[in-house]
Amino acid sequence: MKKWLAVAVLGFALAGCSSVPDDWSNMTQTEIQSWQASGFTAEVAQQWKASGFNSEAAGLWKTAGFNLESATEWSAQKFSAEEAKNWVATGFELDDAVDYRARGLSPIHREQAVE
C-alpha cells in the first residue's frame, strides 16, 4: 500500500510537469526572489511548486540532498527533510523508515551510539 501511494503521488507530480511552465510566469516577484534565493531556476522551481512545495520547503529538501522525486516520496509519508536525511544517512529506505517510525523508533548515528 505504501509503495502504491508513493507511486501515485510521484505519478501525479510527474504528470503535472508536462504542463508546468518553464519560466517565472504565475509567480509574484516575492515568490521569484524566494525561489532564486534557494538556488532554483525557473523551470525547476515550477516543478517543485507544481508538486506542492514552497521555496522554503524545497530548499530544505534540496539542502538535505533530495531531488524532487525522493522529496515527494518522503514528504508524502510525513517526514521532514531533516528526518528523512537522518533515516537515509543511517542506511534506511523509505518503507523501512515508515515501519520503524510507526513503532516509535528513530535512526541512531554511530557517533550518538558511542556517547
Give the residue numbers spanning the domain of 62. 40-103
How many alpha carbons lie under 13 Å from residue 103 in its C-beta half-sphere? Answer: 8
Residue 81 lies in a domain: yes
Q: What is the pLDDT of residue 9?
A: 53
Residue 30 lies in a domain: no
Crossing angle between the packed helical segments 42-50 and 55-63, to the nearest 10 degrees: 100
Lowest mean pLDDT among 5-19, 45-59, 68-82, 101-115: 5-19
Residue 4 lies in a domain: no
Q: What is the pLDDT of residue 19?
A: 86
Residue 75 lies in a domain: yes
Burial class (CB in 10 A: 0-12, 13-18, 19+), 114: exposed
Residues 7-13 have a mean pLDDT of 52
Residues 82-86 have a mean pLDDT of 97
Q: What is the pLDDT of residue 49?
A: 97
Q: How many domains does the chain have?
A: 1
| 48 pLDDT tier (thresholds 50, 70, 90) | very high
